[in-house]
Amino acid sequence: MAQAHGGGYGDGTVRHTGPGARVRRFGERLRTDRGYWRRGVVVAVLAALLALVMLVHAHIPNTIGNLGSLTETFLPWLGLLVPVLLVLALVRKSATAVLAVLLPAIVWFNLFGGLLTHKQHGDGDLTVATHNVNADNPDPTGTARSVAASGAQILALEELAARDVPTYEKALAATYPYHKVEGTVGIWSHYPLSGTEPVDIKLGWVRALRTTVTTPHGRVAVYVAHMPSVRVKLHSGFTASQRDTSANALGRAISRERLGKVILLGDLNGTMNDRALKAVTSQMRSTQGATGTGFGFSWPASFPMARIDQIMVKGIEPRSSWTLPRTGSDHLPIAARLEL
């Protein structure tokens, strides 16, 4: 007679092969085979170190090559090491390593799980967008039309080459009756602008502005900024001192803002995890983090790896956030829906 959950041995005994039997045999091995616990020590140590790096990233010093900021810029990507370590633990048949891999998995989800939880709330009443258009953009007209199609009532553009400003002005004129350009940054709006002026971010040339937008729901202070670029070099690490100085200056300007509702649009050349941007991030909310719509990586456009373009608010409720289709730039445009 066929055995429903087992197979016969030569001595007439029955070997049970159902799922429950396999689990029981595995548990028996864990109790009797000490190798399951002794193997995989190296994998377990690596898992513990990975968890430690993610836990104490804010304490990794910047004194050598700005290593702390570099780690924080690409911090979400450390999660890719978790499945790698899990596979190694399973190959080694190590219970110790498998349990150890749970540590970085838990830490990663504690840090970034909120971004994966959909938290969008309603439609809001103001759509804003920002885009680093790239000074070497081969198609400024197409780029302008693409971002205008987002439906944003307020649009910020960064890295505007002087030769291309008339092109953007012409392409956006039909959609946005109001606009101002200061240096290499500009703002286009459905609503009137007033008090537009450059913001000194300690560069010696203009890469930030502040303006008041009079919306149907009241006046809003809007800042547009383009922080200096950072570089990763073998001999000097993450070179970001100029970016950090500009971020501190921008943070001071925003802290002196008299209007209660503030929007910051721009390319900050840094992520929300980077402690070097604390002067800004400590007083404003990221629309991406608040709405839980994924990581929203914006750079590089060909294979986005980091969210260095930001939409941040103070005194305003974020409702949704998303990236826009790729243009001729090396950045992706981003947009957000806000409740004033």
Bridge-partner residues for 154, per DSSP? 128, 189
Q: How confident is the model at residue 2 (pLDDT cuts 50, 70, 90)?
A: very low
> Rounded to an integer, what is the distance from CA 144 to the centroid of its chain?
24
For residue 48 the two structure tokens come to 């513990």
- Quote the pTM value: 0.82
Contact status, residue 280 vs residue 312, Cβ threshold 8 Å? yes
> Among 2-6, 222-226, 243-247, 294-298, which is the least confidently predicted range?
2-6
- Which residue segments constitute the domains of the chain, with CATH numbers given? 33-116 (no CATH), 126-339 (3.60.10.10)
**Is 236 a residue whose pLDDT tops 70?**
no
Cα-Cα-Cα-Cα torsion 198, 171, 176, 319, nearest 10 degrees, comes to -90
Residue 3: how many CA atoms within 13 Å on its side-chain side? 12
Q: Which one is predicted more confidently, 118 or 270?
A: 270
What letter represents residue 78's amino acid? Answer: L
**Is 109 a residue whose pLDDT tops 80?**
yes
Q: Look at residue 93 in the predicted model and tell me its pLDDT.
A: 86
What φ, ψ does residue 233 adopt, rounded to 5°? -125, 145
**Which residues, in sequence order, are CB contacts of 323 under 8 Å at separation 6+?**
296, 297, 298, 304, 332, 333, 334, 335
How high does pLDDT run on average in the chain?
88
- For residue range 14-58, what is the model confidence (pLDDT) as tens digits? 455 566 665 566 566 655 555 666 788 999 999 999 999 999 998
Contact status, residue 339 vs residue 316, Cβ threshold 8 Å? yes
- For residue range 283-308, what is the model confidence (pLDDT) as tens digits? 999 998 777 668 899 999 999 999 99
Mean pLDDT for 74-91 is 94
Q: Which of 90-104, 119-133, 222-236, 254-268 ranks highest by mean pLDDT?
A: 254-268
| 255 three-state secondary structure | helix
